[in-house]
């Protein structure tokens, strides 16, 4: 796996940007690879569209913008509608299955859903939806190692919430790992 482009989309308040930061941190600091992050969000603090573009590579990254994500993570219907046309023809779609119902996927795209919001509610905090999605992404795609992602979660969340966030990561990771034995993500 030389280079993997990842796009994460959702709504402000879902932790989209933090998800991108965690994946980038896991890749660059803990896996010893190269990573870039570009974020975009609306002016509202919560509820507006936001996205993160993460590129992970074994070699230095010359162009940080995601053109055709090999991995697309969506946590809202609007993000799905906006970003699915850009997914690589052999890409992986990861989606919050209670909020997104995939349709008209390009042939060759593999789609995996998770009830992340319900799982977060069962853990007692809806806010850990994003950490469940990071675990799910790690379990399905192996774009970063489990140990690196786990450490990046610990490094990225507020003190006192580490156990809750690690439980959320583990729930998403096991759900994803049980769905598929993952081949390497598509390099554009």
Select the CATH number that applies to the domain covering 3-178 from these four: 3.30.300.30, 3.40.50.620, 3.40.920.10, 1.20.58.1910: 3.40.920.10
- Looking at the chain, the whole-number percentage of residues with pLDDT higher than 70 is 91
Per domain, the residue ranges of the chain are 3-178
What confidence tier does 12 reach under pLDDT thresholds 50, 70, 90?
Answer: confident
pLDDT in tens, 115-133: 999 999 999 999 999 999 9
Between the alpha carbon of residue 32 and those of residues 13, 14, 60, 169, the distances in Å are: 30, 28, 12, 21
Measure the CA–CA gap between 136 and 130, rounded to whole angstroms: 10
Whether residue 50 has pLDDT greater than 50 = yes
pLDDT for 182:
45
- Angle subtended at Cα 110 by Cα 106 and Cα 114, rounded to the nearest 5 degrees: 120
Give the number of C-alpha atoms closer than 13 A to the C-alpha of residue 135, restricted to the C-beta side: 26
Distance CA 131, CA 114 (A): 12
> How far apart, in whole angstroms, are the C-alpha atoms of residue 48 and residue 114?
22
Q: Are 73 and 61 contacting, i.e. CB atoms less than 8 angstroms apart?
A: no
Alpha carbon of residue 178 to chain centroid: 17
pTM over 0.95: no
Question: 93 and 109 in contact (C-beta within 8 Å)?
Answer: yes
- Examine the pLDDT at 27 and tell me if it is beyond 90: yes
* pLDDT, mean over the chain: 92
Q: How far apart are CA 25 and CA 17, in angstroms?
A: 12
Q: Quick one: pLDDT at residue 179? A: 87
> What is the CA 58 to chain-centroid distance, rounded?
19
């Amino acid at each position: 796996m030389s280079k993997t482009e990842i796009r994460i989309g959702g709504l402000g308040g879902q932790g989209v940007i933090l998800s991108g930061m965690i994946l980038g941190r896991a890749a660059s600091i803990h896996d010893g690879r190269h990573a870039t992050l570009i974020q975009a969000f609306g002016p509202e603090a919560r509820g507006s569209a936001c996205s993160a573009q993460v590129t992970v590579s074994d070699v230095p990254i010359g162009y940080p913008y995601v053109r055709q994500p090999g991995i697309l993570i969506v946590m809202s219907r609007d993000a799905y509608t906006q970003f699915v046309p850009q997914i690589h023809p052999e890409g992986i779609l990861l989606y919050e299955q209670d909020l997104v119902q995939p349709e008209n996927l390009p042939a060759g795209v593999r789609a995996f859903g998770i009830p992340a919001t319900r799982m977060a509610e069962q853990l007692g905090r809806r806010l850990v939806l994003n950490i469940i999605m990071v675990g799910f992404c790690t379990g399905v795609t192996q774009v970063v190692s489990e140990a690196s992602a786990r450490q990046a979660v610990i490094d990225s969340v507020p003190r006192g919430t580490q156990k809750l966030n690690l439980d959320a990561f583990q729930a998403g990771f096991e759900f994803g790992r049980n769905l598929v034995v993952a081949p390497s993500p598509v390099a554009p």
